[in-house]
Amino acid sequence: MAKKKVQNRSSKGQFLKGNKEAEKWDEKNVSKKLDQIWDVLTKPIEDADENNPVRANNIKTLAECCLMVDVTKNEWDYFLKKFTDENSAVFRKIKNILWLLEARLIYSGETIDIFCLKNHYRYTDKNEVKMSGNLSTDNVIRIGYK
């Protein structure tokens, strides 16, 4: 008689409550994956500054570096939800990866990169306030002017 296959993920690919597959992502294993992502992001290309991780290569998206080390979007989201303690090493690694990618987008200044900053890093355009009506200067005290 064949064993009944247990479904570990929902139709959206998220880990289901009580499944054992998610337990593989403890602090040690997540830290190893984050180190691999960092290595991909900081591996210098030809003629790059080896001392500046922001300028090491042209990878600008989280998707690209995660795909290179076999981390899925759902796994990355799981890391973000699980490791929220600001004092943990894993949390700091996650934030440094995101900060590095953000810095690369800022330095390039290309239109698509600005679009990414607005949609993924909460950047906004400067809002200008237009005022209408008359501004009164009746209560202004002028000192030293004739």
List CB contacts of 141: < 8 A, sequence separation 6 or more. Answer: none
Average pLDDT, the chain: 78
Tens digit of each residue's pLDDT (9 = 90 or more) over 29-41: 999 999 999 998 8
Cα torsion 18, 21, 23, 27 to 10°: value is -140
> What is the pTM for the complete model shown?
0.64
The model's confidence at residue 76, banded by pLDDT at 50, 70 and 90, is: very high
Question: What is 33-82 written as a DSSP string?
Answer: HHHHHHHHHHPPPTT--TT-GGGS-----HHHHHHHTT--HHHHHHHHHH
